[in-house]
Amino acid sequence: MNKIKLSLSFFWTIVIVHLAGHLFNMDVLSITKPLIVISLIGYFYASVLDRNSLFHITLAALFLSWLGDVFLMFEGQNPMFFILGLASFLLAHVTYVFSYRKAKNETAVNPLLSSQKLRHGSTLILAGLALVYILEPGLGEMKIPVMVYATVIVVMAITALLRYGYTSIQSFSYVFGGAIMFMISDSLLAINKFLEHFAYAGFWIMTTYCLAQFLIVKGIINHINAKKGA
């Protein structure tokens, strides 16, 4: 088994074990949470053909995500850890914006028309506004931070959308799918925290989160390797 397959197998093993902990209420398995992004970094490192500036920017986003995961593990002990986790993921999304802007070819092949950008971009903006509107009664002093966070994650998703035509359809699909999954994951987390707890919240939040991170990394790998092989 080569290093790429080995690192990918390790990542999915960690993900499955972690999700099993949520599904079967085995709290001891929560210790695997920091290993999710670490194992994904291992896969990312093993897979890219060129460790260029795009690689390092994406690596920074993954590190900030890992930091957010660690902080959120301790939010039950002190509310400040939730703020630190929120700030870490906010910075991760900002870094992903720079990553997506970097992961584009100079010339486009059949890019989105202005009407398509407006239509699809508006859908993402409305989704973000709807979430804040639904959460608003329970946000309290967290209203401004959540609004800022929602704005940044929508910008992240729109930036992923605007890569269409400037990269391969595979890279675009992976990254944009990951961005949407990130929006879903963060929305589920916010609903569970500020609106109403729901069954298997941790399982669904982490399932969409793991898929989001994997799809984004897979798309960036695809773009880097395609450029290197060109």
Rounded-to-5 percentages of helix, strand, coil across the chain: 85, 0, 15
Structural domain boundaries enclosing 188:
3-229
| Structure token pair of residue 87 | 């700030």
pLDDT tens by residue, 68-100: 999 999 998 998 999 999 999 999 999 999 999
- pLDDT confidence bin for 27, thresholds 50/70/90: confident
Which residue, chain included where needed, has tokens 């400040």? 80
Tell me: pLDDT of 229 over 80.
no
Tell me: pLDDT of 124 over 90.
yes
How many other C-beta atoms are found inside a 10 Å radius of the C-beta of residue 227? 17
Mean pLDDT computed over 167-191: 98
**Are the C-beta atoms of residues 185 and 209 closer than 8 Å to each other?**
yes
For the chain, the maximum distance between any two Cα atoms, rounded to a whole number of angstroms, is 52
Going by C-alpha positions, the residue among 3, 25, 43 that lies closest to residue 210 is: 43
Does the pTM of the predicted model rise above 0.75? yes
Q: How many domains does the chain have?
A: 1
Mean pLDDT computed over 36-60: 97
